[in-house]
Amino acid sequence: MKEFTAYILIGGNIGDRFANLLTAKELINKQCGTIIKESSVYQTAAWGLKEQPDFLNQVLILSTTLNPETLMRSLLSVEETMGRKRSIKFGPRIIDLDILLINDFLIESEFLTVPHPALQQRKFALIPLHEVAPDLLHPVEHKTINQLLTECKDELVVQKISTPAS
């Protein structure tokens, strides 16, 4: 079986945000693969729809044998299990799971786009990704995560609030 390395952004801003991140990680470990590294947890004001609670975000590096589409379906299943309701675009959510990158794959379908199309514009994703993989090369931009973070114009404050458990 082929193994893939996926970089997953997890986050949420409803309920016990820390507990929700822990629950998501447990479910991802059971259903999607093995978490081999995780970033610190960061707090950021909401992006897009601003009138809502701050988000906690974290990046996970996942070793998985699931192909990208199956992995995305499994992540959506985790969201559903945790009670995620998709009602308002950029709205409040108990959990949000996004694939940022998988190996050096380029995927563009109605169901999944990899790399995540907004990664290079969002510090709340770049900062935790930079913590765990600063030299990772973005397969479209052909720049490292370190370079993308340096060039990012996003002005949202991203504050580290805990270090990784591992």
17 classed as catalytic: no
Reduce the DSSP state of residue 119 to 3 states and report it.
helix
73 part of the active site: no
Q: Give the closest residue to 11 by CA, choosing from 119, 118, 120, 124.
A: 124
Active site residue 93: yes
98 is catalytic: yes
- Residues 127 and 23: their CA atoms lie apart, in Å, by 22
* Catalytic residue (one of 98, 104, 135, 154): 98
Dihedral (CA of 96, 86, 27, 161) sign: positive
Are 35 and 28 in contact by the 8 Å Cβ rule? The answer is yes
Which is the catalytic residue, given 54, 73, 86, 93? 93
Say which of 17, 96, 122, 154 is annotated catalytic: 96
Catalytic residue among 16, 54, 73, 84: 84
Neighbours of 94 (CB within 10 A): 18
With contact defined as beta carbons under 8 Å apart, do 7 and 75 qualify? no
- Catalytic center residues: 84, 93, 96, 98
